Amino acid sequence: MNNYGTLHESNGRYALKFERFFPHNQEEVFRIITNPSCFSQWYPFATGEMDLRIGGKIAFDDGEGTTYKATVTDFEKPYLFGFREVDDLINISLQEEDKGCRMIFIHTFNDGSWAVNIAAGWHRCLDVLHQIVNGHPVDWEDNSAELRESIKLNYLGCN
């Protein structure tokens, strides 16, 4: 599977699915994904305020005056972490594989016209998550324009 993710449409909703392999066990990757200080380094607008239980809240701040809270919808250590952010759903699952685990990250949303931009953003965020999990310094590569062009070609016809 490519790193650009795949786009799926069903009943007027869209889902971007990304897969990443980590050479670490599920417990270690899950702990990093759900650690508030790590989460706020790779997840957009995250503040680090997290109540990690089903029904718990995750705080976000866009830095321009808008704050909002997501609601945790799934939380099963060390396999599943999901939440609803306004109308969007984020689902992160970890599956044991070889000498590590495979993360499946799915973002479900309403407006397909944003798919390329959303995919480019997640590609960058998941690259940073990969850096954090592997103990590397965080380096946000400035490659958004190139990513959007590559993703457009990859999705063929997605505007």
Task: Calculate the alpha carbon distances from 2 to 5, 18, 66, 110, 133 in Å.
Answer: 6, 8, 33, 23, 20
Task: Calculate the alpha carbon distances from 140 to 15, 43, 144 in Å.
Answer: 24, 12, 10
Predicted model pTM: 0.89
**Domains of the chain in sequence order:** 6-155 (3.30.530.20)
Each of the 159 residues of the chain gets a pLDDT tens digit; together they read 457 789 999 999 999 999 999 999 999 999 999 999 999 999 999 999 999 999 999 999 999 999 999 999 999 999 999 999 989 999 999 999 989 999 999 999 999 888 888 988 898 899 999 999 999 999 877 766 676 666 665 654 444
